[in-house]
Amino acid sequence: MSPLVFANNAPTLAERCKDAAGIALIALLLGIPMIGLTTADQGGSLQVLTRWPLLGAFVAAAFCGRLALRYGLDMLKQRRQTRDREAAARPGKRGVRSIRILELTGWLAFGIALVLPILFSDNRYVVDTATTVLIYVMLGWGLNVVVGLAGLLDLGHAAFYAVGAYAYALLSTQFGWGFWTALPVAGLTAAVFGLALGWPSLRLRGDYLAIVTLGFGEIIRVVLTNWTDLSGGPNGISSIPRPTFFGLPFVPSSDTGTFASFFGLEFSPMHRIIFLYYVILLLSLLTNVLVKRLRRLPIGRAWEAMREDEIACKALGMNITNVKLSAFALGAMLGGVAGVFFAARQGFISPESFTFNESAIILAIVVLGGMGSQLGVVLASVVLVLLPELGRDFAEYRMLLFGAAMILIMVWRPGGILSHREPTLRHQPAGEQA
Amino acid sequence: MALALQQLINGLTLGAVYGLIAIGYTMVYGIIGMINFAHGDIYMVSAFIAVTGFTLLTAFGVTSVPFALLVVLIVAVLFTSVYGWAVERLAYRPLRGSTRLAPLISAIGMSIFLQNMVQLTQGARVKPIPPMITGGIDVLTTDGFTARLSYSQILIVLVTVALLAAFTWLITRTSFGRQQRACEQDRTMTALLGIDVDRTISLTFMLGASLAAVAGVMVTMYYGVVDFYIGFVAGIKAFTAAVLGGIGSLPGAMLGGLIIGLIEAFWSNYLSAEYKDVATFSILILVLMFRPSGLLGRPEVEKV
């Protein structure tokens, strides 16, 4: 039935070896200056040291790895061809089912997030890590508005994260504001910075916008590092007050009553950890609901329309300026709120926490997760936070593995982990149920 | 007066280095339309190769500075271009034709990977090497300050000018240059005309990497210190230079590099050294506000 001819010309062993030998040669050339040779300080001047056995092992690994990879890929290709031929015979509808599965996964993830601190109430490490994951989820959702929905490439999201964190740190240490009162103010401050960044970049597209946002992020960081009177410079701001439970602090004892004494519990530092976890869970769920609702409002649809085709939007009379600025402001505000939480949780902030690497990780979360996908952001945050955590046993290699994983995930799924892009609104012909 | 002249000399030297790196960004952007975020780290790798090379030559008792420089330059260019090739092959080629953001993320991943690889294999410490070219010419003395043009600065500027001339010739006059420009305009059509597009793109990456290698060797010789983090800062500055000059334009990249070098030198001397990066990026933002396609860039024509 199919007019296609499936040609199968399996390479011979000699061809495979030749291919692998080529790769081994490249590995040798790459390895000589970095693995084979190194310099070390000996007696006041540099000396060259050699590591030929290590280089040999590296080249051998490249040779074997290439053989195995090539063989595996060929097998996979063959299997896929047979499967495709079989699948062509009987058409099925997979699209609708996968959406149902995604929805179920979302609820499942929500359920797990809800009971996690109860299950691990005596394991501080697990709850702490989960809180970090949720901070990144929140940052990812904020950036998702700008990058995923509005299609504006932002490489400086850490700037808004920093603005939120510093706004809370200053409001609380200088003026004695509480967490909950400072939260909206710091969020709005970040939104104002979002507008300040959005306004000059209105005319820019794509990569020009990317470099301007990158520059903006660096400007904020450099100013925070050097304006010592305001930000404490490289030393940062310490002893930032922790959030309280409706005025009840999480401390062993206090004359106005504490969380533990009010509820008649024995004091435990875990109370604060778990409370913080639920605060960030609440904040990120609010973010999720907000973004989900906004996507169905005219403004959300305008973002997605602008992402797909800016010229068409202009031709239809949309005010591109407002659409872009609102995306920047909302994304920045969400980033700022995450920053407030970060400052309150750490109790100490410094410009070190808001480098370009941070922006890159947040962007990686959005893109790896599948642009515009809310659940994808959660999955990518879990992967990117847990990966370095799992690698803690071989600590020196963890960032190396992190970089390699970013490349591999992209090569494996260029559209992100959840690349399925579902239109937010679907045209339903009359008399048909979704 | 002499102080200003000194800043001019320093700025031009620094700008020449940024310009060399920026050409790599601009060529890659021109041909496949992506920011090669790992380019700054390629430059850093070449600086490390230069440190190893210089130390090795000293250990073998080579005392002739021109000979050592030439050997290290050639070796660094060769090895670094293999790195350029490998980066393209591993992280970018599989992603060609997918979304615009996918290669950007794998490029950032590659940059993190290279930084940490060098940190692991070569150590996290700063590597110092003894100064190679000493001496210079006193140009002008006013108010007790002598502006000095050192021999290494002369060398950097001369090498940059020579390379820029060679590159302009390569791109505008040779058959490889024609293929390269054809790929920039329309990759599908170029492939239909029987040109190996993959090969052209690989060669572009290798050429960009070899320019970065020259910059890396020059910087190693000029400053005498190298660490695994230099690639990030230099990369960002050079990319800013490429955008400032108009991305995709070769003379633009050089011009952008010189402007950024001059701004940095004058700003850190007369205003404040801490805020020199703020100045660089602010000027970038201002230029882009009024000339969104850079100083020498062609305005992008949007087709509906």
- Kindly determine whether residue B284 and residue A215, on different chains, have CB atoms separated by under 8 Å: yes
Residue of A nearest to B276 (CA): A222
Enumerate residues 6+ apart whose C-beta is below 8 A from A179: A168, A172, A241, A242, A243, A244, A340, A344
Closest CA–CA distance from residue A242 to any residue of chain B (Å): 32
- Kindly determine whether residue B121 and residue A38, on different chains, have CB atoms separated by under 8 Å: yes
Q: Could you report the average pLDDT of every consecutive run of 10 residues in chain B (304 residues)?
A: 86 92 88 86 93 88 86 93 93 83 85 90 84 79 80 91 91 90 88 92 93 92 86 86 85 92 88 81 81 76 58
* Res A121 pLDDT > 80: no
Identity of the residue numbered B132: M
- Kindly determine whether residue B102 and residue A367, on different chains, have CB atoms separated by under 8 Å: yes
Least confident of A92-101, A358-367, B29-38: A92-101
SS3 labels along B82-134: HHHHHHHHHHHHHHCCCCCHHHHHHHHHHHHHHHHHHHHHHCCCCEECCCCCC
The length of chain B in residues reads 304
Would you state the pLDDT for residue B301? 62
CB contact A391 to B (< 8 Å): no
What is the 8-class DSSP label of residue A425?
S
- Name every chain A residue with its beta carbon within 8 A of the beta carbon of B128: 46
User: Cα–Cα distance between A183 and A341 in angstroms, integer?
Assistant: 8
* Res A19 pLDDT > 90: no
CB contact A167 to B (< 8 Å): no
Helix (H, G, I), strand (E, B) or coil at A310: helix
Question: Secondary structure of chain A: what % helix, strand, coil (to 5)?
Answer: 70, 5, 25
- Kindly determine whether residue B236 and residue A356, on different chains, have CB atoms separated by under 8 Å: yes
* pLDDT tens-place string over residues A376-402: 888 888 888 887 777 666 667 777 888
- Name every chain A residue with its beta carbon within 8 A of the beta carbon of B108: 360, 363-364, 406
CB contact A411 to B (< 8 Å): yes
Closest CA–CA distance from residue A21 to any residue of chain B (Å): 15
Q: Tell me which residue has tokens 């108009």.
A: B246
* pLDDT tens-place string over residues A233-271: 888 888 788 877 776 777 766 666 677 667 767 777 778
B139 in a domain, yes or no? yes
- Kindly determine whether residue A153 and residue B59, on different chains, have CB atoms separated by under 8 Å: no
B287 in a domain, yes or no? no
Domains of chain B: total: 1
- Kindly determine whether residue A218 and residue B56, on different chains, have CB atoms separated by under 8 Å: no
Give the pair of three-digit tokens for residue A70.
């090539």
Yes or no: say if B92 and B32 are a contact pair by the CB < 8 Å rule.
yes
B176 in a domain, yes or no? yes
Out of A396, A403, A415, name the one closest to residue B113 (CB): A403
CB atoms within 10 A of CB B295: 16
Would you state the pLDDT for residue A358? 87
Least confident of A326-335, A412-421, B234-243: A412-421
Would you state the pLDDT for residue A92? 54
User: Cα–Cα distance between B89 and B77 in angstroms, integer?
Assistant: 18
CB contact A316 to B (< 8 Å): no
CB contact A34 to B (< 8 Å): yes
DSSP string over A151-205: ----S-HHHHHHHHHHHHHHHHHHH---HHHHHHHHHHHHHHHHHHHHTTTTT--
Question: Which one is predicted more confidently, B130 or A206?
Answer: B130
Closest CA–CA distance from residue B80 to any residue of chain A (Å): 8
Helices A269-296 and A374-390 cross at an angle (nearest 10°) of 150
- Kindly determine whether residue B243 and residue A410, on different chains, have CB atoms separated by under 8 Å: no
What is the 8-class DSSP label of residue A264?
T
B302 in a domain, yes or no? no
CB contact A215 to B (< 8 Å): yes
- Measured CA angle at A91 (ends A88, A94), to 5 deg: 115
Interface of A with B in 11-30 (CB under 8 A): 26, 29-30
Identify the H or E element spanning B139. Answer: strand B136-142
Yes or no: say if A22 and A3 are a contact pair by the CB < 8 Å rule.
no
Give the pair of three-digit tokens for residue A245.
């439970």
CB pairs under 8 A between A and B: 182
- Kindly determine whether residue A41 and residue B129, on different chains, have CB atoms separated by under 8 Å: no
Closest CA–CA distance from residue B267 to any residue of chain A (Å): 15
Would you state the pLDDT for residue A434? 41
User: Cα–Cα distance between A187 and A329 in angstroms, integer?
Assistant: 10
* pLDDT tens-place string over residues A56-78: 999 999 999 988 988 898 888 88
- Kindly determine whether residue B29 and residue A207, on different chains, have CB atoms separated by under 8 Å: yes
Would you state the pLDDT for residue A245? 75
Closest CA–CA distance from residue B173 to any residue of chain A (Å): 29
B34 in a domain, yes or no? yes
Q: What is the ipTM of this complex?
A: 0.85
Pairing, β A37-42 against β A45-50: antiparallel
User: Cα–Cα distance between A239 and A134 in angstroms, integer?
Assistant: 23
Would you state the pLDDT for residue A7? 58
Yes or no: say if B48 and B122 are a contact pair by the CB < 8 Å rule.
yes
Q: Region A205-225: what's the mean pLDDT?
A: 84
CB contact A48 to B (< 8 Å): yes
- b/e code A7-28 from CB counts within 10 Å (16+ = b): eeeeeeeeebeeebeebbebbb
**In which band, very low, low, confident or very high, does the pLDDT at A321 lie, cut at 50, 70 and 90?**
confident
Would you state the pLDDT for residue B272? 77
- Name every chain B residue with its beta carbon within 8 A of the beta carbon of A41: 125
B17 in a domain, yes or no? no
Yes or no: say if B223 and B51 are a contact pair by the CB < 8 Å rule.
no
* Res A372 pLDDT > 80: no
Q: Region A94-101: what's the mean pLDDT?
A: 63
CA A184 to chain centre: 23
Arithmetic mean of pLDDT over chain A: 82
User: Cα–Cα distance between A96 and A188 in angstroms, integer?
Assistant: 40
Question: Which one is predicted more confidently, A44 or A419?
Answer: A44
B15 in a domain, yes or no? no
What is the 8-class DSSP label of residue B268?
H
B40 in a domain, yes or no? yes
User: Cα–Cα distance between A59 and A36 in angstroms, integer?
Assistant: 11
Structural domain span for residue B103: 23-231
Cα radius of gyration (chain B): 19
Interface of B with A in 19-58 (CB under 8 A): 29, 35, 45, 48-49, 51-52, 55-56
Would you state the pLDDT for residue A432? 46
DSSP string over A330-387: HHHHHHHHHHHHHHHHHS-B-GGGGSHHHHHHHHHHHHHH-TT-HHHHHHHHHHHHHH
- Name every chain A residue with its beta carbon within 8 A of the beta carbon of B99: 371, 414-415
* Res A425 pLDDT > 60: no
Helix (H, G, I), strand (E, B) or coil at B213: helix
- Kindly determine whether residue A406 and residue B100, on different chains, have CB atoms separated by under 8 Å: no
* Phi/psi of residue B61, nearest 5 degrees: 85, 25
- Kindly determine whether residue A46 and residue B127, on different chains, have CB atoms separated by under 8 Å: yes
CB contact B110 to A (< 8 Å): yes
- Kindly determine whether residue A34 and residue B35, on different chains, have CB atoms separated by under 8 Å: no
DSSP string over A57-101: HHHHHHHHHHHHHHHHHHHHHHHHHHHHHHHHHS----HHHHHHH
Nearest to B42 by CA among B1, B79, B95: B79
Instruction: Give percent of chain A with pLDDT exceeding 70.
Output: 87
